[in-house]
Structure 1
Amino acid sequence: MNFTNKDGVLIVKDIIEAIQKNKDYLSEIDGAIGDGDHGINMNKGFTMALEELNENDNMSSGFQVISKTLMSKIGGSMGPLYGNFFRGFYTVSRNEEVIDGVIIGEMLDKAYSNITSISPAKVNDKTLVDVLDPAIHAYHEVYQSTQKTKESLEAMVNASKTGLESTKQMIAKLGRASRLGERSIGHQDAGATSAQIILETFATSAIKLLK
């Protein structure tokens, strides 16, 4: 099962809409142990990206627009992190007319490696890595055994939810929240939250397109 890169622009638009809808929720999560502006900054960047999209964009060029916008216009750590994340999606898929389960796996791997190349974050540091790592591993585990894209995406979503929940019991090791030490326990991480939203939206929208 697969979908065309052209039709895949729906995924880009759905991810932007999901961030916009969760703007207040993301800032509320961030407010508990951070600056409280994660939702504001994410919404600003993704909304600006939406304004840059045009009718000729496909999935790859849409992700490139998000990447460039976040890298150039959003400060803090999330601009570069997510800018590089979506650049990974673009880099792998840009020359592909058809997107299948193998390409999706490569997109996820490149996006994740782009994150780890610029961030020291490891699993259990209470960051977006605690969502990305188990989610992407789950995708590959199911795909390697079944070759079924839909089931692999569903496994990714389930693992992303488990990963997000796990951040509540972690002590923050990086960023502003790390200053709180053990007081950060009991709160889920804002970056992990937006990562989970992005992965789930990607999966849900891709499943709709699979033929």
Structure 2
Amino acid sequence: MSEQLLTLDLLADWLRRYAAIVDEHKTYLTELDSAIGDADHGANMARGTAAVLTHVDDATTIDALLKKAGMTLVSTVGGTSGPLYGTLLMKMGMATGSVVELSAEDFGKALRAGLEGLVARGKTELGDKTMVDALAPALDAYDAALADGSDLHDAVAAAAQAAAAGRDATTPMVAKKGRASYLGERSAGHQDPGATSSTYLFDALADVIGA
């Protein structure tokens, strides 16, 4: 069986599907955020991802697609989510180079570069009750699956499952970053909205790949 590549068109579909999932769950995301944040995560992410959709057809290379998507999120999503999601995608684009397709391994490297950029920007780490708690386990599961001989389909499925587990694990945590950290112990018992919207990235990828 030939290796499945992540093409420019597929990654554009990924961003389209992510925007659709965010829009579908924007009320839920805002409900989560109302418990421990500013009650605007859903609306902000829906606005930002809708803006991304106006640019996806313009890109002729993967780096251009991801960089433009990242810059658009930075400029249209309020709070800390815009810069963090924007950094994730822009760093991914910087890691891919001007190509129109990526191997599963190269896509994993791009995701890793994006996560490292996000962590550096947000000065956050695993266990802080942030989007990192979904993203880091997802990337680890993706890399582990590929290393174990899995194809792209199974690696993405493993990543989506790990992201969901990471998201769920944020519920009992006490927040150490962001607006939720102001609540101290009262932030425990609430699922993190950023980890939730991060999980949708892998749900969207699984949808477009058919995982």
* TM-score of the two chains, using structure 2 as the length reference: 0.90
What is the letter of the counterpart of residue 114 of structure 1? G
The residue number in structure 2 matching 1:63 is 66
State yes or no: 1:160 paired with 2:163.
Answer: yes
Q: Of 139, 146, 150, which residue of structure 1 is paired with 2:149?
A: 146
Query: Are 1:26 and 1:193, in contact at CA under 8 Å, matched by a contact in 2?
Result: yes
The match for 1:7 is: 9
Query: Which range is displaced more, 50-59 or 194-203?
Result: 50-59
Is 2:61–2:100's contact at 8 Å kept on the other side of the alignment?
no
Could you tell me whether the CA contact under 8 Å between 2:6 and 2:107 is conserved in 1? Answer: no
Contact 1:101 1:147 survives alignment (8 Å): no
After TM superposition, list the pairs within 5 Å mapping 1:107-126 onto structure 2: 107-126=110-129
Mapping of residues 18-57 of structure 1, within 5 Å = 18-54=21-57, 57=60
Counterpart position of 1:93: 96
For structure 1, the 5+ residue unaligned runs are none
Structure 1 Cα separation of the partners of residues 59 and 66 of structure 2: 13
Equivalent position SS for 2:148 = helix
Moved more, 24-33 or 54-63: 54-63
- 1:5–1:58 contact (8 Å) kept in structure 2: no
Identity of aligned residues (%): 31
Q: Secondary structure at the match of 1:52?
A: coil
Q: CA RMSD in A?
A: 1.9
Matched to 2:66, the amino acid is F
CA distances 1:155-189 after superposition (whole Å, capped 9, x unpaired): 11111111001000100111111121111111100
CA contact (8 A) 1:93 1:103 kept: yes
Q: CA deviation at 1:58?
A: 5.5
Which stretch shifts more, 31-40 or 49-58?
49-58
2:169 alignment partner AA: S
Cα distance in 1 for residues equivalent to 2:63 and 2:15: 9
Aligned partner letter, 2:46: N
Do 1:126 and 1:171's aligned partners in 2 also have CA atoms closer than 8 Å? yes
Q: Which moved more, 1:164-173 or 1:116-125?
A: 116-125
Supply the distance in 1 between the matched residues of 2:117 and 2:49 (Cα, whole angstroms): 19
Instruction: Report deviation, 1:57.
Output: 4.8
Mean Cα deviation higher: 87-96 or 139-148: 87-96
When structure 1 is superposed on structure 2, of 26-35 and 53-62 the one drifting more is 53-62
Residue pair 1:135, 1:160 contacting (<8 A) in 2 also: yes
State whether structure 2 residue 199 is matched by structure 1 residue 196: yes
Calculate the TM-score normalised by the size of structure 1: 0.90
Separation (CA, whole Å) in 1 of partners of 2:80 and 2:86: 10
1:184 aligned partner, one-letter code: S
